[in-house]
């Protein structure tokens, strides 16, 4: 761990000038164990303003765990998180949300039996009146706002009063993403946003991601589909066995990119070999990682 914790705005990635301001998110030396399983073994991660970061890795590489730490679903055993340069302790999803971190879960986390606008506003209902602790929901306001949001993001859903269970997979994904963006999030995390979607729907979701960036959002995309990462991301981080093995801008042609990323994913290449060593293990390292 670097001794100087007072200046979180370290240089982000090789080949890029030091960030103009503090990065939106900086995670340092994040560790998380589940009983004997070391899911995260000291990961550093930086997300800059208005950047789309791709997070790649094989199954059980730690992508989702790392993002659940950032979104408050898991509490890390060790490590620090900075949001816009301010150190934060994220204890639960609601807290993460207050900090401006929104997660779009892989299983979408929508309520099938509620309609689109109820889902978008779930947990943040606009109230028209309060009788003690009983709040009366302002349906008209929420429906209008939801319509506006869908129109702004060019999401094609005929009525905000449709039950979510009646929507297609792509529409459901769009609703989940729209919900994450509805409240001026600083960071939007998307876990496998294109999994189990038709080709046409994938295109629409990727367009939506680009549209969000154009509107100034900072986004982390977890995906198995390297084509998606290649198409929308500015930079990518590859995880393997709970360690970061690659942190590099997305560039070059697709074929070359694909081969390089696969090499990192399967372990043929590693830009951070020291990081793979555990403290306390027999090694030449001092045990701490930078």
**13 versus 109: smaller Cβ distance to other proteins:** 109
Among 26, 115, 228, 247, binds other proteins (CB under 8 A): 115
Give the shortest CB-68-to-other proteins separation in angstroms: 10
- The reply on whether position 145 binds other proteins by CB under 8 A is no
Q: Pick from 40, 103, 180, 206 the residue near other proteins by CB under 8 A.
A: 103
CA-CA distance, 131 to 141, in Å (whole number)?
A: 19
Among 223, 176, 169, CA closest to 201: 169
Question: Residue 80 or 138: which CB sits closer to other proteins?
Answer: 138
Q: What are phi and psi of 56, to 5 degrees?
A: -125, 155
User: Which CB sits closer to other proteins, 97 or 204?
Assistant: 97
Q: Which of 3, 15, 17, 123 binds other proteins (CB under 8 A)?
A: 123
Taking CB under 8 A as the criterion, the residue among 113, 199, 253, 282 binding other proteins is: 113
Is residue 182 at the binding interface for other proteins, with CB under 8 A as the rule?
Answer: no
Closest CA to 34 of 58, 72, 69, 59: 69
264, 246 contact by CB (below 8 A) = yes
Q: Which of 5, 37, 87, 112 binds other proteins (CB under 8 A)?
A: 112
Instruction: Output the CA–CA distances (angstroms, integers) from residue 158 to 147, 151, 163, 171, in the order listed.
Output: 9, 11, 11, 10
Residue 67 near other proteins by CB under 8 A: no
DSSP letters, 126-190, are PEEEEETTEEEE-HHHHHHHHHHHHHHTT---S-TTSBGGGS-HHHHHHHHHHHHHTT--SEEEE
Per CB under 8 A, the segment of 131-139, 194-202, 206-214, 238-246 that binds other proteins is 131-139
Closest to other proteins by CB, 121 or 264: 121
Phi, psi of 78 (to 5 degrees): -155, 160
Cβ of residue 153: shortest distance to other proteins, in angstroms?
20
Reduced to 3 states (helix: H, G, I; strand: E, B; else coil), residue 31 is strand
Q: For residue 115, what is the DSSP state?
A: B
Residue 127 makes contact with other proteins by CB under 8 A: yes
Helix (H, G, I), strand (E, B) or coil at 63: helix
Which range binds other proteins by CB under 8 A, 30-38, 107-115, 191-199, 258-266? Answer: 107-115
Segment contacting other proteins by CB under 8 A, of 11-19, 119-127, 271-279, 282-290:
119-127
Residues touching other proteins: how many (CB under 8 A)? 31
- Which residues make beta-bridge pairs with 137? 127
161 interacts with other proteins by CB under 8 A: yes
In this complex, which beta carbon is closest to other proteins, that of residue 100 or of residue 279? 100
Residue 257's nearest CA partner among 56, 47, 64, 16 is 56
The rounded distance, in Å, linking the Cα atoms of 194 and 64 is 15
Binding residues for other proteins (CB under 8 A): 73, 93-94, 97, 103, 105, 108-115, 117-118, 122-125, 127, 134-137, 139, 161-164, 166
């Amino acid at each position: 761990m670097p001794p100087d914790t007072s200046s979180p705005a370290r240089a982000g990635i090789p080949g890029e000038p030091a960030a103009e301001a503090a990065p939106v998110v900086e995670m340092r030396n994040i560790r998380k164990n589940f009983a004997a399983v070391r899911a995260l073994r000291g990961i550093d991660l930086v997300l800059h303003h208005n950047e789309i970061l791709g997070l790649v890795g094989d199954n059980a590489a730690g992508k989702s765990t790392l993002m659940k730490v950032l979104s408050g679903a898991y509490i890390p055993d060790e490590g620090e998180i900075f949001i816009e340069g301010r150190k934060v302790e994220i204890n639960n999803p609601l807290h993460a949300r207050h900090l401006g971190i929104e997660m779009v879960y892989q299983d979408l986390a929508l309520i099938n039996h509620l309609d689109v606008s109820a889902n978008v506003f779930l947990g943040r209902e606009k109230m028209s009146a309060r009788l003690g602790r009983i709040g009366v929901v302002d349906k008209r306001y929420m429906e209008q706002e939801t319509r506006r949001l869908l129109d702004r993001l060019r999401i094609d859903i005929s009525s905000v009063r449709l039950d979510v269970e009646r929507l297609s997979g792509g529409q459901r994904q769009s609703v989940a993403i729209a919900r994450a963006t509805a409240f001026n999030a600083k960071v939007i995390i998307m876990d496998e946003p294109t999994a189990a979607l038709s080709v046409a729907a994938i295109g629409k979701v990727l367009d939506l991601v680009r549209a969000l960036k154009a509107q100034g959002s900072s986004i982390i995309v977890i995906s198995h589909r390297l084509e998606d990462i290649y198409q929308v991301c500015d930079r990518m981080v590859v995880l393997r066995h709970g360690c970061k093995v690659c942190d590099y801008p997305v560039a070059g042609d697709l074929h070359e990119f694909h081969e390089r990323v696969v090499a990192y994913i399967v372990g043929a290449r590693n830009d951070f070999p020291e990081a793979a060593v555990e403290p306390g293990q027999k090694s030449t390292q001092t045990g701490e990682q930078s």
